[in-house]
């Protein structure tokens, strides 16, 4: 059975590989090993594991007491379609609740998937913290085609 647990240092390579493959396809942002390590140290990254193999990853970034973002959500090809993505999202929603944060944001191309996880589409302009802290560094900043979605926890 797949379990979701906090990521450890020993997971860095598996996480890097999963994210790297999708980043190459332009489906998500690339994460360096150093960035993954920092997120693990901040206890902000989770993995889906079965029989000592890592099938998926998801992270949480907290902007302020009202807003967090789910990041680096990815399930490798062999794990897809088995409910692992949904479980990872549920774990990040739980983490958001535990940290008493009001809403969880996703910037994504996977709208139907996130709708199934309880998110709804919102205006990017209502998410100023995110835009100013991160998006300004993105090559797609002036031409962003990701959809902003939120869930209130």
Chain residues that interact with ligand COA, rule: CB under 6 A: 22, 27-28, 73-75, 80-86, 106, 108, 110, 112-113, 116
We find the least distance from the C-beta atom of residue 42 to ligand COA, in angstroms, to be 19
The residue among 48 and 101 lying less far from ligand COA, judged by its C-beta, is 48
Distances (CA, A) of 82 to 11, 66, 77, 134: 21, 31, 11, 32
The residue among 83 and 128 lying less far from ligand COA, judged by its C-beta, is 83
The residue among 65 and 80 lying less far from ligand COA, judged by its C-beta, is 80
We find the least distance from the C-beta atom of residue 112 to ligand COA, in angstroms, to be 4
CB burial readout 101-113, b (16+ within 10 A) else e: bebbbbbbebeeb
**CA–CA dist 147, 143 (Å, integer):** 12
Distances (CA, A) of 4 to 119, 137, 149: 20, 31, 23
As a whole number of Å, the end-to-end CA separation of the chain is: 26
We find the least distance from the C-beta atom of residue 133 to ligand COA, in angstroms, to be 17
We find the least distance from the C-beta atom of residue 32 to ligand COA, in angstroms, to be 17
Q: Which residue is nearest to ligand COA, using beta carbons?
A: 85
We find the least distance from the C-beta atom of residue 107 to ligand COA, in angstroms, to be 7
The residue among 84 and 148 lying less far from ligand COA, judged by its C-beta, is 84
The residue among 10 and 81 lying less far from ligand COA, judged by its C-beta, is 81
Side-chain half-sphere exposure of 108, counting CA atoms within 13 A: 23
**CA–CA dist 61, 46 (Å, integer):** 12
């Amino acid at each position: 059975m797949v379990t979701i647990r906090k990521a450890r240092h020993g997971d860095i390579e598996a996480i890097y590989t999963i994210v790297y493959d999708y980043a190459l396809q332009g489906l998500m942002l690339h994460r360096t090993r150093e960035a993954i390590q920092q997120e693990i140290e901040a206890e902000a990254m989770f993995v889906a594991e079965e029989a000592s193999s890592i099938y998926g990853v998801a992270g949480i970034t907290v902007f302020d007491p009202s807003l967090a973002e789910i990041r680096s959500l990815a399930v490798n090809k062999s794990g897809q379609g088995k409910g692992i993505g949904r479980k990872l999202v549920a774990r990040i929603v739980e983490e958001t609740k535990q940290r008493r944060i009001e809403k969880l944001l996703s910037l994504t191309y996977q709208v139907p998937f996130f709708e199934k996880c309880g998110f709804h589409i919102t205006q990017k302009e209502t998410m100023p913290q995110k835009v100013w802290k991160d998006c300004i560094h993105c090559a797609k900043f002036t031409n962003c085609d990701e959809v902003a979605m939120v869930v209130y926890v």
